[in-house]
Amino acid sequence: MKSTTSKWLALAAIACAAAALAQPTWLVTPDEARQDAAWAQQHPAADEFTTRAFAPGAPDISMVSPASLAEPLKAPFPIRIVFKAQDGATIKPESFRALYGFLKVDITERLAGRAKVGPEGISVDSANIPAGNHRIVLRVSDDRDRQGETEIRFTVQ
């Protein structure tokens, strides 16, 4: 009797672990996307503002992949961002920050957990982001404490 119960408990534990592993690991959760969309709908003028790098010589942040954000993306998708320091400076990868949406939820740790971040940029093999319109602000600093910032906006179908 004990061994049968132990076997069933072991099978249940394995099934629970497999179910947990099968859950999508969201870069942006559906709840965060809904909250951000609701906020944006209540504050339509906020959509007109964009962020830019203001410091002369600040690092440049460019998206390489996806090649175009004009068309809706299908999740999950790869992301490749390139950092370029100016005037002989070097990028400080530990300064990288990713802020989601108009509410600027810090998703840096989630992104860093599945990405390769280095002085040359960041690479994510599979970004799982729910359907909707999205805005992410990316920031990185150089060794001269100049901060570059860019905003990417995209739609996921």
pLDDT at 50: 56
pLDDT digits (tens, 9 = 90+) for 29-84: 888 888 878 877 787 766 665 555 467 899 999 999 998 888 999 999 999 999 99
Where are the domains positioned within the chain?
27-156
Q: Which CATH number fits domain 27-156: 1.10.10.10, 2.60.40.1220, 3.30.360.10, 3.40.190.10?
A: 2.60.40.1220
128 contact partners, CB below 8 Å, separation of at least 6? 24, 25, 26, 27, 75, 76
Residue 22: the pLDDT is 37
From edge to edge, which strands make up the β-sheet containing 105-106? 105-106, 91-100, 132-142, 147-156
pTM: 0.74
78-126 pLDDT, tens digit each: 999 999 999 999 999 999 999 999 889 999 988 888 888 899 999 999 8
Q: First-to-last CA distance in the chain? A: 51
pLDDT at 100 (0 to 100): 92
pLDDT given for residue 27 in this prediction: 73
pLDDT of residue 17: 37
Please give the pLDDT value at position 46: 64
